[in-house]
Amino acid sequence: MFNKQTLRDFDLQGKKVLLRVDFNVPLNSNLQITNDKRIRETLPTLNYLIEHGAKTIIVSHLGRPDGKVKPEFSLKPVAERLRELLKKPIILTDDVAGSDTFKYVRTMKDGDIIMMENVRFDPGEEANDPEFAKKLASLADIYCNDAFGTMHRAHASTTRVAEYLPSCAGLLVEKELQVLGGALENPERPFVVIVGGAKVKDKIGLISRLIEVADVVMIGGAMAYTFLRAQGHNVGKSVVEKDKIALARLLLEKAKTQNVKFVLPVDHVVTGEFSFSAEYIVTTTKKFPRTGIGMDIGPKTIKLFEHYISKAKTVFWNGPLGVSEFQRFATGTNEVAKALANSKAFTIVGGGDSAKAIEQLNLQSKINHVSTGGGAALKLIEGVSLPGLQAISEKL
C-alpha cells in the first residue's frame, strides 16, 4: 500500500526542507496547550532532519482564522513547546512565507529549525492557490509532508506545493499508512472492529469497507439506534436517521452475506431528556421505553464488547459509544478503552473522540497505535483518495 518516497530516500545534508506538520493542538482560554500529542508525534521526523543536517522550515495551521491574521491562532505556544521538547532554539517568524521568513531562511545552518506563522493566516492556503504554493516552494529544496491529520485536505501546503519541489512523506505519515494499511490488507484474526458516533451517514463508507475485512463489527453510540430501528426494534425518542434506515438494512444484510458477526447493543442507559444530569434507567432493547432516549451502552453490552475484544488478535476502534462528553454517560466508552488497553491484540484507535478517551484515561502506552488523523484515517480506511498522499512522489 505504501509506495511513496520518504525522508530516507533523500540526501538531506545542507538541504532546505519545507516540512508540513499538523500542530493544530487544543488551547485553553489562556492560549495554553492542553494536549501536545500532535507535536510529540512529529519528533522522530524532526530529530531525523536534525541528525541528517537538514535546514527545516516548519509549516502548520492552527484553528480556523479564515485567511486573516488573528493573534489567538498564533503558533507562539506551539513554538515554545517545541523548544522544550527538542531542547534547541526554534525561531517563529512574524509572517507566512514573507520577508521575515525569507530573512531567517537565508541565515540557517545545517540542523537549524524555523517555524513560520500559521499558514492559514494567508487566504491562499485554503484556496489551494498556485502562486502561494510557489512562494512556499521557493523557500526550500525538498517538500516533506508529515501532517497525516490534514492529508484529506487539498490545500496549498498539503498538495499544491508538491508540484514545485521533490516530495516525500515524513516518518509519522509513513507509520500511519503502514499501520492503517496493514490492518486492512493482512490483519491477524480474529479482526474485531468497534464503530461508534452519532450518525450513520458519517461512517457509511467506513462500516461498509470494514465489513469486507473484519470478522466482527460492533456498533455503539447514537448510530446504533438507526440499525436497531432497521431491525424493527422500538428505540423510543433516541436519535434515528430515518433516511438511513434502508441503508442500515443493506449493511446488516452485507454483513450476513459476508459471514461477519454484526453486534448491536443489547441493553442501554436511557433517560427522559438529553441532559448531562438527567436521571437514567438501564433497560434491554426489548423493553426500551417509548419516551426514552438512549445515552450509552448498558453493562451487558459492555460485557459483550469486552468478550469479543478478549478473543481478538487485531482491534480497530473509532467513535464514542455513548454521549461521552457527559461524564455520567461515558462509562461505555471508557470501559471499552480499558478493554483495549488490557487486550493482547494489536490495537488501533482511529483518532477523534476515541483517541481523546484513551488520553484522558492515560492509556496511550497500552495501545499499539493511536492515529493522529481522525478524518484522514477514516478516509484512508474507506479507500477514499487522500489529496495530500496523492501529491507525494512515488518511489523510484
- Preceding peptide of 190 cis, ω within 30°: yes
Rounded distance between C-alpha atoms, residue 282 and residue 291, angstroms: 14
- Cα–Cα distance between 120 and 16 in angstroms, integer? 22
Would you tell me which CATH number, out of the four given (3.40.50.1260, 1.10.287.1770, 3.30.450.20, 1.25.10.10), belongs to the domain 7-174?
Answer: 3.40.50.1260
State the burial class of residue 76 (Cβ atoms within 10 Å of its Cβ: 0-12, 13-18, 19+): middle
- Phi, psi (rounded to 5 degrees) for 167: -130, 155
DSSP string of 104-125?
HHHT--TT-EEE-S-GGGSTTT
Give the residues across from 293 on adjacent strands.
Answer: 271
Element (H, E) at 277: none
CA 155 to each of CA 34, 90, 152, 161: distance values in angstroms, whole numbers, following the listed order: 26, 25, 9, 9
pLDDT band of residue 2 (cuts 50, 70, 90) is: low
Q: What is the CATH number of domain 187-382?
A: 3.40.50.1260
Where in the chain are the domains? 7-174, 187-382
Each residue of 167-198: pLDDT tens digit? 999 999 999 998 888 777 889 999 999 999 88
Residue 381 pLDDT > 90: no
pLDDT tens figures, 38-94: 999 999 999 999 999 999 999 999 999 999 999 999 999 999 999 999 999 999 999
Residues recognised as catalytic = 38, 199, 352, 375
Predicted structure pTM score: 0.90
CA distance 68 to 20: 20
Q: Report the sign of the C-alpha dihedral through residues 100, 105, 107, 110, in that order.
A: positive
Residue 1, class by beta-carbon neighbours within 10 Å (0-12 exposed, 13-18 middle, 19+ buried)?
exposed
pLDDT score of 148 more than 60: yes
User: Is the CB of residue 111 less than 8 Å from the CB of residue 136?
Assistant: no
Q: Which amino acid is at 272?
A: G
